[in-house]
A and B are shown apart, each in its own frame.
Chain A
Amino acid sequence: MTKHMTRKATRHISQNEGLIFEKSSPGKAAWKLPPLDVPEVDTAKLLGKQERKDLGDMPEVSEIEIIRHFTRLSTWNYAIDLGMYPLGSCTMKYNPRVNEFVARIEGLANGHPYQAEKISQGALRIIRTLSDCLLEITGMDAITLQPAAGAQGELTGLLMVRAYHQSKGNARKKILIPDSAHGTNPATAATVGYAVENLKSNERGMVDVAALAAQMNEDVAALMVTNPNTLGVFEQEIAKIAELMHAKGGLLYMDGANMNALVAKARPGDFGVDVMHLNLHKTFSTPHGGGGPGSGPVAVKKVLAPFLPTPVLITKPDGTLGFEYNCPQSVGRVRAFYGNFGMFIRALAYIFANGPDGLRQTTEDAVLNANYIRKGLEGVYDLPYSTPSMHEVVFSDRLQSKKGVKTMDLAKRLIDYGFHPYTTAFPLIVPGALMIEPTESEPKEELDLFIEAMKSIAEEVEEDPQYVLDAPHNTRISRLDETAAARKPVLRWKPEGKAV
């Protein structure tokens, strides 16, 4: 047993809970319908052989059991509401509760997407106001809020890139992607029918401008950069990069995953970006909710505006808002209806709560926090790139791996200290990466606890590496057998005795 104490967390009782199906028994119910006020129907007559007689193994439980079931499950999760969640590139910031409140206002939550524009002006005004704010924040000219998430934003952006080149007579063949990019970038390029060409980073962790100049030609449709990139480094030669792309007729796509480092401090539209997506669930505080829903607006320069997905929000001659469906050059629709409207409400509430001064302070605090952690852990963990950090910092497990302890092991031990792990093993250009993004939401005390925990783990690696390798020790369950899960997948519950 280690002598290292964790100041942030301590063990406490949590309730055991089985699967909901294991609580089910015929006759229990958590529902009640009002009496039917129209004549009963003969279902057999109406549906014939299409009538369903049995719903199989669906559960039958009471309301208190449902409340306890999900409440117990919830206590097994870590969450921003419990403490720092330093996942790099995920921007796990505070999710304000007023966002949730306004998104549930009757009349906003219950609007039908096909109700007449005459009785949708409030919803359309929200879309317009958020669009205007995001255009000002990014310095771009036109925007669509339709994409359902960041990856779909990328898809939409690249579809527009393709449509733009096609309109010039040549769709071009490939997309350049730095080796530090998110996996969604190459996956998206492939979906849009482009070949992917890797672009290597230079020794400072930035786009190698000489390599770009050599690789850029008339076959290249666009370069996808993340800025600051996944090392948390601002691409200082971004203007030169844009120039190189534009000189050969290419476009510059920016993955906005790391906009939390730039809001109110610099605008992509001012440094040569032609098309970019935002993640409302990162930069603009809409909740991650255990993995979604996201929302991935795409902002573009004027030259790309004709290709925006349909429909496009317009102001009509009488001053009311409405949708224009007749957009002959549009890439089409990427999602039914108008996008994740509920997320628009939350993001706009966040912008209102901040204002210009609040957004600037937010960005400054996010960058300050990352640099404070960097300073606190420098020397304890290997810093592969000494280039200045913006909103996140990337260390490696080089020092600890000498004892056989890898980034994932360190991460699992961090759980025992009451923190969610940082992002492990990404970006790919850093072997054994520890990618840490504290966001602006952490007080100094929490950052100090985090630094202390990371230092303590580094000492443990020296003293008793096996103890770290066996972590986590304090969770409900220990490390799970992921290999077995993938080899013989069990993806659903079945009652005992029934063939899987």
Chain B
Amino acid sequence: MRYLPKSPADRAAMMQAIGIRSVDELFSPIPANVRLTRDLVIPRQMAESEIVDWFKQRAKENGEGYTSFLGAGAYSHYRPVVIDALVQRGEFLTSYTPYQAEFAQGTLQAIFEFQTMIAELTGMDLANASMYDGSTGAAEAVMMAVRVTGRHSAAIARSVHPEYREVLNTYATHQAIPQKLVSFADSGRIDLKELERAVSDDTACVLIQSPNFFGTVEDVEAIAEIAHKRGALLIVSIAEAASLGIVEPPRTADIVAMEAQSFGVPLGFGGPYCGVLATKEKFVRQMPGRLAGQTVDKNGKRGFVLTLATREQHIRREKATSNICTNQALVALMVNIFMTVYGKVGLRELAKQNLAKAAYAADQFSKHARVLFAGAPRFNEFVVETSEDPYAINSRLLGHKIVGGLPLKKFYPELGHTALWCCTELTTRSMIDTAVGLVAESERSVRSMQETAEHEVVR
């Protein structure tokens, strides 16, 4: 086996040193009746070339060469090639959690820089070293708010990513955190009046997403005012990190729970991604997840360590702030490098292109179909309502190698024939024009069918 660095002679010498004649003797602690005496029924040992072939076949079955207008929590942005060149360095790829700080300064300094940039971008005082993803990050933020306030319920905007809300439900069930769902208004933004009614003196937090699931930017300040008036915290979930280049960060929030996948992390069929929690300094001791901090060595030289570990499970066990053990270090490193490449000016220009593409696309769609929630600002996603079921439209688009927007009926039955479309800097004008053209065609044919039908009724 090519990964195993021992010759038969090595094994024999080692067995002799131990004083055994067969390696089976080492397995004698396993009772004989539960020892496996047959081969596992799994594929036979493959050559590297066969492994590569097998996965290339799977890639083909996945469909190649499609133009996608999908977003909804997973965004297609360009990934500078330096990212993979650097994260594949063995010293990053094959190292462990940096508990032995003297031997892991590379990872620790990178985390410290990551925390700094995330704090800067989100408008918070500080950020942790990352969480599993945006969904679990949002759930952990709600549990954190419960610890901070000592209160027990939460008000959740329905315009938070539906799968994030599902994860929150799973986590909250056994924490006894009752949730009040708050609807969205005609603008696509949270219904502020309903929110006022939903927040009480027992509300630990209000959880919103901005840009929300429909791509609409929320009025964070107004929401913060409502939450803070009753002593509740405001948690803002951000699924599209690229928005922070041009959209004002939620500075009035108490916790920001972000999915940073947009920053250089491959779509990868949904993972691994990179969740982040950022918060105010005063809440840091209730924050879950790893933190790197700056300190000095015996000679006064600057260095970095994992710190405030007394919050964590390996010290506190059942009293820890969370059961989380890992972070997403290597993915956070991708995010880190992406943020460094684009930096202060590039992130803004990148966001501007996203804004422009989506604005153009929404404008084009609105000539043939209805674009919902036009009353509030949005970033790179928008909702299009069609006469025909978007599932039907999408399966026709697939024939043209286009993946249309995400039909929303599954998550929001009341939204009927609507779909969530996304454009990024990678979406070209000609792709947009082609997609709009095909949707327009379908709209025309449905309309003419309806007209014919009405005509027949009149006759």
- A333 near B170: Cβ-Cβ < 8 Å: yes
- A52 near B248: Cβ-Cβ < 8 Å: yes
Number of contact residues on B: which range applies? 35 or more
Q: Which of B46, B58, B91, B341 contacts A79 (CB 8 A)?
A: B91
- A341 near B270: Cβ-Cβ < 8 Å: yes
Whole-angstrom distance between the Cβ of B300 and the nearest chain A Cβ:
10
CB-defined contacts of A287 to chain B, threshold 8 Å: 93-94, 330
CB-defined contacts of B296 to chain A, threshold 8 Å: 480-481, 484
- B52 near A102: Cβ-Cβ < 8 Å: yes
Contacts known (A114-B70, A355-B42); A489 close to B307, Cβ less than 8 A:
yes
- B136 near A38: Cβ-Cβ < 8 Å: no
- A41 near B295: Cβ-Cβ < 8 Å: no
- B52 near A77: Cβ-Cβ < 8 Å: no
- A481 near B297: Cβ-Cβ < 8 Å: yes
Q: Using an 8 Å CB-CB cutoff, how does the interface string of A95-132 with B read, 1 for contact, 0 for none?
A: 11010111111111111111110111111011000001
- B46 near A292: Cβ-Cβ < 8 Å: no
- B272 near A340: Cβ-Cβ < 8 Å: yes
Stretch from A209-217, A259-267, A394-402 forming part of the interface with B: A259-267
Name the CB-closest residue of B to A470: B298
- B330 near A184: Cβ-Cβ < 8 Å: no
CB-defined contacts of A40 to chain B, threshold 8 Å: 356
Stretch from B6-14, B149-157, B438-446 forming part of the interface with A: B6-14
Q: Which of A113, A122, A187, A354 contacts B74 (CB 8 A)?
A: A113
- Among B96, B112, B341, the most chain A Cβ lie within 10 Å of the Cβ of B96
A338 to B297, CA, bound (A): 43
Q: Using an 8 Å CB-CB cutoff, how does the interface string of A319-359 with B read, 1 for contact, 0 for none?
A: 00000000000011111111111110100010111111111
Within 8 A of B (CB), among A32-54: 33-34, 36-41, 43, 46-52
B415 interface hit (Cβ, 8 Å): no
CB-defined contacts of A72 to chain B, threshold 8 Å: 106
- B272 near A71: Cβ-Cβ < 8 Å: no
- Among A287, A387, A479, the most chain B Cβ lie within 10 Å of the Cβ of A287
B398 interface hit (Cβ, 8 Å): yes
Contacts known (A105-B56, A193-B175, A440-B4); A337 close to B269, Cβ less than 8 A:
yes
A342 to B342, CA, bound (A): 25
- A415 near B100: Cβ-Cβ < 8 Å: yes
A78 to B108, CA, bound (A): 12
- B330 near A335: Cβ-Cβ < 8 Å: no
- A73 near B109: Cβ-Cβ < 8 Å: yes
- B310 near A486: Cβ-Cβ < 8 Å: yes
Within 8 A of A (CB), among B116-131: 116-117, 119-121, 125-127, 129-130
Contacts known (A107-B64, A108-B55, A125-B58); A480 close to B305, Cβ less than 8 A:
yes
Stretch from B25-33, B191-199, B227-235, B450-458 forming part of the interface with A: B25-33
Whole-angstrom distance between the Cβ of A179 and the nearest chain B Cβ:
11
- B298 near A478: Cβ-Cβ < 8 Å: yes
CB-defined contacts of A105 to chain B, threshold 8 Å: 55-56, 59
B17 interface hit (Cβ, 8 Å): yes
Contacts known (A265-B35, A266-B30, A336-B270); A33 close to B326, Cβ less than 8 A:
no
B19 interface hit (Cβ, 8 Å): yes
Name the CB-closest residue of A to B395: A116
Stretch from A80-88, A246-254, A454-462 forming part of the interface with B: A80-88
- B322 near A187: Cβ-Cβ < 8 Å: yes
A60 interface hit (Cβ, 8 Å): yes
Name the CB-closest residue of A to B379: A47
- A293 near B42: Cβ-Cβ < 8 Å: no
Within 8 A of B (CB), among A457-490: 472, 475-482, 484-486, 489-490
How many chain A residues touch the partner (CB < 8 A)?
Answer: 198
Name the CB-closest residue of B to A494: B116
Contacts known (A73-B109, A75-B106, A76-B105); A336 close to B170, Cβ less than 8 A:
no
- A478 near B102: Cβ-Cβ < 8 Å: yes
- A95 near B343: Cβ-Cβ < 8 Å: no
- A239 near B31: Cβ-Cβ < 8 Å: yes
Stretch from B178-186, B200-208, B311-319, B365-373 forming part of the interface with A: B311-319
Q: Which of B29, B245, B294, B332 contacts A233 (CB 8 A)?
A: B29
Q: Which of B2, B98, B106 contacts A353 (CB 8 A)?
A: B2
A137 to B41, CA, bound (A): 8
Name the CB-closest residue of A to B62: A122
Tell me the total A-B contact number using a CB cutoff of 8 A: 675
Q: Which of A55, A106, A150, A412 contacts B344 (CB 8 A)?
A: A55
Contacts known (A115-B66, A479-B297); A341 close to B268, Cβ less than 8 A:
yes
A142 to B326, CA, bound (A): 25
A337 to B135, CA, bound (A): 9
B357 interface hit (Cβ, 8 Å): yes
- B355 near A122: Cβ-Cβ < 8 Å: no
Q: Which of A79, A133, A339 contacts B94 (CB 8 A)?
A: A79
- A109 near B52: Cβ-Cβ < 8 Å: no
A290 to B126, CA, bound (A): 21
Within 8 A of B (CB), among A243-286: 262, 264-267, 270-271, 281
- Among A59, A61, A151, A415, the most chain B Cβ lie within 10 Å of the Cβ of A59
B18 interface hit (Cβ, 8 Å): yes
Whole-angstrom distance between the Cβ of A463 and the nearest chain B Cβ:
22
- A46 near B112: Cβ-Cβ < 8 Å: no
Within 8 A of A (CB), among B73-106: 73-74, 76, 80, 82, 84-98, 100-106
Name the CB-closest residue of B to A419: B103
A493 to B114, CA, bound (A): 10
A411 interface hit (Cβ, 8 Å): yes
CB-defined contacts of B319 to chain A, threshold 8 Å: 190
- A368 near B269: Cβ-Cβ < 8 Å: no
- A47 near B247: Cβ-Cβ < 8 Å: yes
- A293 near B291: Cβ-Cβ < 8 Å: no
Name the CB-closest residue of A to B163: A336
B166 interface hit (Cβ, 8 Å): yes
Contacts known (A50-B248, A85-B96, A357-B1); A338 close to B269, Cβ less than 8 A:
yes
CB-defined contacts of A29 to chain B, threshold 8 Å: 343, 345-346
- B107 near A149: Cβ-Cβ < 8 Å: no
A292 to B353, CA, bound (A): 32
- A291 near B290: Cβ-Cβ < 8 Å: yes
Per CB-CB distance, the 4 closest pairs between chain A and chain B, nearest first, are: A337-B270, A289-B330, A355-B45, A119-B63
CB pairs A–B below 8 angstroms (29 shown): A34-B425, A56-B121, A58-B339, A59-B340, A61-B343, A79-B94, A82-B90, A107-B59, A108-B59, A109-B267, A112-B403, A154-B323, A162-B174, A183-B320, A190-B320, A266-B27, A290-B104, A333-B135, A335-B132, A337-B163, A337-B270, A351-B43, A353-B1, A353-B45, A356-B45, A387-B29, A479-B298, A480-B101, A480-B295
